[in-house]
């Protein structure tokens, strides 16, 4: 008996992607977004199939993600932001709670979310990571949207009309 293997699929054509970007540490958010959006287009996602919204900071990202996920109009979502350690405990609160919120939305809705909220000790560390993290978020979102589509397709014919994980997949094949 052969092992059934589903290979990574980075073809973004036909996918709808939502991007939520925090404006706090604006330079980082802008660089993350530029790299992410360019990579989405390079992967074949049509610009008209990308919705990009901004929120004040990392703690607001999960509620915007939840609203987008609840719309059932997106195959994957992306969280972009940057939290840089300061001299108080606030860093730990923002880093932990924003990550927890993103994970909760993903698990509650079944819509995959690429979490590219950078958490670094310094601005230099953030600057060294923003571009690659933005690109990586695009790749993760496309790959996970396609994986859920393939898993749904393997389990049922015509699964894109169902409610649940992967239900929003719009990929045309």
| Predicted pLDDT of residue 1 | 78
* Alpha helices, H only, 51-122: 61-70, 90-109
The architecture in CATH of the region 17-161 reads: 3-Layer(aba) Sandwich (3.40)
| Predicted pLDDT of residue 153 | 84
Angle 163-152-105 (CA atoms, 0-180°, nearest 5)? 55
| Predicted pLDDT of residue 45 | 98
| Predicted pLDDT of residue 145 | 98
Phi, psi angles (nearest 5°) of residue 112? -65, 140
Is 170 catalytic? The answer is: no
Q: What is the pTM of this model?
A: 0.88
Averaged pLDDT in 10-residue chunks for the chain of 173 residues: 91 98 98 98 98 98 98 98 94 96 98 98 98 98 97 65 44 49
Choosing from 27, 71, 72, 90, which is the catalytic residue?
A: 90
> Could you give the 3-state DSSP secondary structure of residue 26?
helix
Contact between 30 and 13 under an 8 Å Cβ cutoff? The reply is no
């Amino acid at each position: 008996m052969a092992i059934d293997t589903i290979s990574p699929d980075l073809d973004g054509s036909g996918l709808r992607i939502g991007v939520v970007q925090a404006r706090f540490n604006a330079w980082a958010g802008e660089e993350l977004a530029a790299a992410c959006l360019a990579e989405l287009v390079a992967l074949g996602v049509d610009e008209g199939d990308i919705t990009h919204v901004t929120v004040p900071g990392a703690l607001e990202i999960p509620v915007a993600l939840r609203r987008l996920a609840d719309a059932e109009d997106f195959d994957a979502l992306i969280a972009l932001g940057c939290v840089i350690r300061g001299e108080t405990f606030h860093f730990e609160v923002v880093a932990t709670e924003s990550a927890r919120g993103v994970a909760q939305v993903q698990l509650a809705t079944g819509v995959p979310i690429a979490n590219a909220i950078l958490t670094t000790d310094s601005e230099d560390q953030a600057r060294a990571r923003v571009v690659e993290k933005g690109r990586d978020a695009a790749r993760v979102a496309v790959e996970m949207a396609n994986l859920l589509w393939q898993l749904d397709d393997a389990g049922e014919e015509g699964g894109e009309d169902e409610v649940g994980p992967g239900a929003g997949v719009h990929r045309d094949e």
